[in-house]
A and B are shown apart, each in its own frame.
Chain A
């Protein structure tokens, strides 16, 4: 066994042990502890936990690489995934904390005095969270299989068992303190290679300064990279290829989506007071910003360094390391070739690697974007233990996000659906049991989704953020800032936002094939059925809902069995105003706002007690309802 493998195993096993230890120490005994960690988490700790909750495997492993290839276009992720915290701190978090309940559907249901609104919120929350969690479990599996040489399936299952252990045992309390630990692991693992890389390439240990600094030859790093890229046929790094409107829309959708994601919002229910929620959002953003301002620096370092050391180097995989010539391709290139993340085809037979934009001349035939974070320790000639640390960091990022999502799923089912809608007579012990069972079932589904990734995993970002932006954000925002907003407005706004955004993304990302149409119709039919059962009063339910649900079920069956005709995926030329699916959430949000406001104005104002509740959550010191 080589030393990298040993170090990786040591780090992975010891961090996993730590997470389990914390879970046993922080186990939850009451629903209050299970859902909101007893409302007693310190704002700084909650900030760290939020940062870990928020930064997924994609932020840790893929984002720097994504930016390295996208250049300016990558800015949408940097601004979008941080700017949302301003909206959260100013517009949502303090008021939702003041409201003082357990979940997002709790707020929607109470504010809109309606079981239908609550159920629509539950459906949105489940939909967003399941999409997101499937991607996380896949990430865990890939990290395991690449570094510990175990099959992806085993990796997914091991990761899932760890998450299950502390989520089921500790609930929000266990998750909070493991996330604090996971944040420390992941930020350390990200920063160590970044600092060394910055030293090596720009001579300064602070990556953020290296980003605007000079390369070792004295020319500004970004300018040098622009020139080199243009020479090789790429477009300049600091130029974008997306239209301004599209960049605007994607950034807006990601920001608003961030503020509307239930697994982020519920973190702010765990602090003691409304003022702590504001402060905590600030801390969360500081902890996130450390990684998010380093990532674009790493992106520039990695892309520059890759071109400098690999392009036009002599490929010498067959020679022993000490026999390789001075201009040989660096050693890490051969190591990563074995994993399949890098590939070289000598098209012109000159024994050198040509890296070009033109596919007919480019000889780096495989270049996985994750390589730019994973290979950093080797590129920086760092010792083997650093690689182990990076793997542990990637796993920490994936597990912490998965746990947060699991919490949303579990509370949506046990608290919002079972306790508040289907079985209001449940005792607290029973509710806890249901919550833990729901978490277990959710993990099982996540395992399956991680092993057999459904096509939509690739569209996770577009889905989760677009749907959160178009459904939750308008409903919560208007609920706090506009007393006139009625239940009809909320239900119609959320449904229209969810359906149009969902349809746009599916059409342009996946395409309405018969099976996709069928599954979507079946899911909607199930949702309709829950809505029918949940809104029944005195044994009578809404017949149109039941009929609609039945019709959708029929369409679903036809689709799944392949009888229905399919529709080819849409082409980029047909995008609405040139807005990509990732950015459509912004349009969906505006639509949801418009529908909510006009429907509210056309319907009755909310009852007095609801308006009083809105008054009350606006004042932090008022008696908590």
Chain B
């Protein structure tokens, strides 16, 4: 994700907005980090556990189902749901921290 570098024609913001610009960049960086972590989990439970490492995981079982198979047909979906709510909650916190929340309550 290449940000625009100084000298690429970007007009420097006036003094008052420099602080806000830095906050926006910090906010965006934290958002991208969080996103990266959650998408890594997303990848591991579906493409990892359900597809690439399924055969290895199948030696374990959950109840009467082989674990890899279970991840592909059940487990991945449960994790997906959790991921979205975790992202939503953590982003809410992040936005309050940087005073960027769109929630009226904040």
The answer to whether the Cβ of B7 comes within 8 Å of any Cβ in the partner chain is: no
Q: Are A248 and B84 in contact (CB under 8 A)?
A: no
A74 CB, min distance to chain B CBs, angstroms: 8
Mostly, the B contact residues are helix
A248-B42 contact, Cβ under 8 Å, with A211-B74, A281-B84 = no
- What chain B residues lie within 8 Å of A255 (beta carbons)? 46
Q: Quick check: A619 and B27 within 8 Å, CB to CB?
A: yes
A578 within 8 A of B: no
Interface residue B63 (Cβ < 8 Å from any Cβ of A) = yes
Contact residues in B for A274 (Cβ distance below 8 Å) = 102
B22 at the interface (CB under 8 A from A): no
A78-B72 contact given A83-B42, A244-B51, A621-B101, CB 8 Å threshold: yes
| A interface footprint on B32-55 (CB within 8 Å = 1, 0 otherwise) | 000100110010001100111000
Quick one: given A86-B83, A247-B51, A275-B103, are A78 and B73 in contact (CB under 8 Å)? yes
Which listed segment binds B: A110-118, A356-364, A400-408, A481-489? Answer: A481-489
Is B84 in contact with A275, judged by CB distance below 8 angstroms? no
B:1-31 near A, CB below 8 Å: 1-4, 8-11, 24, 27-28, 31
Given the known inter-chain contacts A72-B69, A482-B1, please indicate yes or no for A275 contacting B102, CB distance below 8 A.
yes
Q: How far is the CA of A279 from the CA of B77 in the complex (A)?
A: 17
Q: Given A82, A90, A209, A620, which contacts B39 in the complex, CB threshold below 8 Å?
A: A90
Q: Which residues of A sit under 8 angstroms from B65, Cβ to Cβ?
A: 211-212, 220, 222, 238
Q: Are B9 and A275 in contact (CB under 8 A)?
A: no
Chain A residues whose C-beta falls within 8 Å of the C-beta of B35 in the assembled complex? 90-91
User: Contacts A275-B95, A605-B9 given: A292-B77 contact, CB under 8 Å?
Assistant: yes
Cβ–Cβ < 8 Å partners of A618 in chain B = 24, 28, 31
* Count of inter-chain pairs, beta carbons less than 8 A: 156
Q: Measured between alpha carbons, how far is A1 from B30 in the docked complex, in Å? A: 65
Taking the nearest CB of chain B, how far is it from the CB of A480, in angstroms? 10
Contact partner of B103 (CB less than 8 A), chosen from A219, A221, A273, is: A273
* Chain A contacts for B3, CB-based, 8 A: 483
A535-B62 Cα distance, complex, nearest whole Å: 59
Question: Interface readout for A467-496 with B: 1 if CB under 8 Å, 0 if not?
Answer: 000000000000001111000000000000
Least distance between B36 CB and chain A CB atoms (Å):
10
B84: contacting residue among A85, A273, A481, CB under 8 A: A85
**Is A448 part of the contact surface with B, judged by Cβ < 8 Å?**
no
B50 touches A75 (CB 8 A): yes
- CB B43 to nearest CB in A, in angstroms, measures 9
On whether the beta carbons of A89 and B88 are closer than 8 Å, the reply is yes
Spot the interface stretch: A182-190, A282-290, A333-341, A342-350: A282-290
Question: CA separation between A605 and B10, bound complex, in Å?
Answer: 11
Determine the chain B residues whose CB is within 8 A of the CB of A244 once the complex forms: 51-52
With A75-B50, A248-B47, A615-B24 as known contacts, state yes or no: A89 contacts B84, CB within 8 Å: yes
Chain B residues whose CB sits within 8 angstroms of the CB of A222 once the complex forms: 64-66, 69
A513 within 8 A of B: no
Question: With A273-B102, A278-B91, A621-B95 known to touch, is A296 a contact of B8 (CB < 8 Å)?
Answer: no
Report the Cα distance A16→B87, complex, angstroms.
38
In contact, A79 and B87 (Cβ under 8 angstroms): no
Question: Closest approach, in angstroms, between the C-beta of A285 and any C-beta of chain B?
Answer: 5
Q: Assuming A273-B102, A278-B88, is B80 touching A293 (CB within 8 A)?
A: no
CA gap between A220 and B64 in the complex, in Å: 5
Whether B52 contacts A282 by the Cβ 8 Å rule is no
User: CB-nearest residue of chain B relative to A81?
Assistant: B77
Chain A residues with Cβ under 8 A from B77's Cβ? 78-79, 82, 289, 292-293
Q: Out of A223, A247, A482, which one reaches B2, CB within 8 Å?
A: A482
Contacts of B80 in A (CB 8 A): 82-83, 85-86, 285, 289
- C-alpha gap A212/B8 in the complex (Å): 58
Q: How far is the CA of A482 from the CA of B9 in the complex (A)?
A: 16
Q: How far, in whole Å, are A398 and B84 apart by their CA atoms in the complex? A: 27
Chain A residues with Cβ under 8 A from B64's Cβ?
Answer: 212-214, 219-223
Q: Are B84 and A75 in contact (CB under 8 A)?
A: no
Contact yes or no, A620 B100, CB < 8 A:
yes
Secondary structure at the A interface, as helix, strand, loop or mixed, is: helix
- State how many residues of chain A have any CB contact under 8 Å with chain B: 59
Given known pairs A82-B77, A275-B91, A484-B2, the reply for A90 and B38 (CB within 8 Å) is yes
Whether the pair A282, B88 counts as a contact (CB closer than 8 A) is yes
Q: How far is the CA of A238 from the CA of B68 in the complex (A)?
A: 9
B60 adjacent to chain A (CB < 8 Å):
no
| A4 CB–B CB distance under 8 Å | no
Check A220 against B63 for contact (C-beta < 8 Å): yes
Q: Which of A211, A238, A293 has the most CB of B within 10 A?
A: A238
A608 at the interface (CB under 8 A from B): yes
A275 and B88 contacting across the interface, CB-CB below 8 Å: yes
Residues of B within 8 A of A78 (CB): 72-73, 76-77
Of all chain A residues, which has the CB nearest B73?
A: A296
Q: Does A251 contact B (CB under 8 A)?
A: yes
- Taking a contact as CB atoms under 8 Å apart, the answer to whether A608 and B102 are in contact is no
Q: How far is the CA of A85 from the CA of B85 in the complex (A)?
A: 11
Most buried by A among B74, B78, B84: B84
Residues of A within 8 A of B66 (CB): 222, 238
- Whether A282 touches B81, Cβ cut-off 8 Å, given contacts A212-B63, A222-B65, A275-B88, is yes
Chain B residue with the shortest CB-CB distance to A202: B64
Interface pair A251/B69, CB less than 8 Å apart? no
Task: For B61, list chain A residues within 8 Å (CB).
Answer: 220
| Given A75-B50, A89-B84, A619-B100, A605 and B8 contact (CB-CB distance below 8 Å) | yes
Q: Once the chains are docked, how many angstroms separate the CA of A622 from the CA of B42? A: 29
> Chain B contacts of A228 at CB under 8 A?
none
Chain A neighbourhood of B102, CB < 8 A: 273-275, 620-621
Q: Is A611 an interface residue (CB 8 A)?
A: yes
Contact between chains at B87 and A212 (CB < 8 Å): no
A-side residues, CB < 8 A to B, are: 67, 72, 74-75, 78-79, 82-83, 85-87, 89-91, 94, 208-209, 211-214, 219-223, 238, 244, 247-248, 251-252, 255, 273-275, 278-279, 281-282, 285-286, 289, 292-293, 296, 481-484, 605, 608, 611, 615, 618-622
List 27 A-B residue pairs with CB atoms under 8 Å apart, sorted by A's residue number: A75-B51, A75-B72, A75-B73, A79-B77, A82-B77, A82-B80, A83-B42, A83-B46, A83-B80, A89-B87, A90-B83, A90-B87, A223-B64, A238-B66, A247-B51, A248-B47, A275-B92, A275-B101, A279-B85, A289-B78, A289-B80, A292-B77, A482-B1, A483-B2, A605-B4, A605-B8, A622-B100
Beyond A79-B77, A296-B74, list 11 extra A-B contacts (CB 8 Å): A83-B42, A83-B46, A85-B84, A87-B42, A90-B35, A91-B35, A212-B70, A278-B88, A279-B85, A618-B28, A619-B24
